[in-house]
Amino acid sequence: MKTGKNTKQMEEQPLIVYRNVDINQQELGILNDVNFELRRGEFVYIIGKVGSGKSTFLKTIYGELPACNGEPQVLEYNMREIRPGQIPALRRRLGIVFQDFQLLTDRTVEENLKFVLRATGWKDRTAIQNRIHEVLTQVGMENKGYKMPNELSGGEQQRIVIARAILNKPEIILADEPTGNLDVETGRHIVELLRDICRQGSAIIMTTHNLNLLTEYPGTVYCCKDHRLQKDTNL
């Protein structure tokens, strides 16, 4: 019985906890005294003006940028003490949907996905094929595996980027403006896809400038403003 209780406690443990964390870019303070929590199954929006620190905040979560002071905890990693050698293991548990992580343009969709699986330790060819088929089906792109990225529309490419992010069933997905370059309707479909993925067990943090999404698809909202990351309870 004790084991059951411990498992439950672990499940209830937040995936990310930041307490009084400061975040700088090249020694310039971007966000001060950040307090943030992400729980299992949660869908979190980060909003705020251009240059207010949304992407910078996400970068500290996947170890691209150091977090200073306070207690930045991501899964079981303290992000102030994490060693460079531990970052690949952390990133294998995150799905990253960022402008900086585009598809490789010299290979097909399927080869893009295979590349990530191989790089993260998958060896069995049938298991690789099956997983690729599963994620492509999940994002509604099961017939596009043979295409080169430049043969896809912006919305289709974004679906493949999401398929790539979910290959290893990450506990957390970080999506930096995933609807940024898309028309309103395609953007909605991308958010619906992320919400499906959220319901299946990954917590999601997504930055956006599209405030209509917050009412159409409610979630927890944090706002970057005046060097603070504030939980927005008015929405």
Ligand X SMILES: Nc1ncnc2c1ncn2[C@@H]1O[C@H](COP(=O)(O)OP(=O)(O)OP(=O)(O)O)[C@@H](O)[C@H]1O
* DSSP code for 107: S
Please identify, using beta-carbon distances, which residue of 55 and 202 lies nearer to ligand X: 55
Q: Shortest approach of ligand X to residue 31 CB, angstroms?
A: 8
Residue choice 20, 25, 102, 120 for contact with ligand X (CB under 6 A): 25
* CA proximity to 179, closest of 200, 202, 208, 153: 208
Distance CA 206, CA 187 (A): 13
User: Which of 44, 167 has the CB closer to ligand X?
Assistant: 44
Sequential DSSP letters for 161-204: HHHHHHTT--SEEEEESTTTTS-HHHHHHHHHHHHHHHHTT-EE
Taking residues 188 to 227 in sequence order and writing x for each that binds ligand X by CB under 6 A, - otherwise, the string is ------------------------------------x---
Pick between residue 110 and residue 177 the one whose CB is nearest to ligand X: 177
Window of 4-12, 22-30, 148-156, 191-199 that interacts with ligand X by CB under 6 A: 22-30
Q: Are 14 and 171 in contact (CB under 8 A)?
A: no
From the number of C-beta atoms within 10 Å of its C-beta (0-12, 13-18, 19+), residue 58 rates as buried
Comparison of 52 and 220: residue with beta carbon closer to ligand X: 52
- Region near ligand X per CB under 6 A, out of 25-33, 112-120, 142-150, 190-198: 25-33
CA distance 17 to 20: 10
Q: Is 122 exposed, middle or buried (CB count within 10 Å of its CB: 0-12, 13-18, 19+)?
A: middle
Give me the least distance between CB of 55 and ligand X, in Å please: 3
Tokens of 71: 């207690």
Query: Cβ closer to ligand X: 25 or 86?
Result: 25
- Which residue in 3, 9, 26, 234 binds ligand X (CB under 6 A)? 26
Binding marks (x or -) toward ligand X, 30..69, rule CB under 6 A? x-----------------x-xxxxxxx-------------
The secondary structure of residue 153, as a DSSP letter, is -
Q: What number of chain residues touch ligand X (CB under 6 A)? A: 12
Residue 53: CB minimum distance to ligand X, A: 4
Q: Which is nearer to ligand X, 24 or 35 (CB)?
A: 24
Pairing verdict, β 220-225 and 43-48 = parallel
Residues that bind ligand X (CB under 6 A): 25-26, 30, 48, 50-56, 224
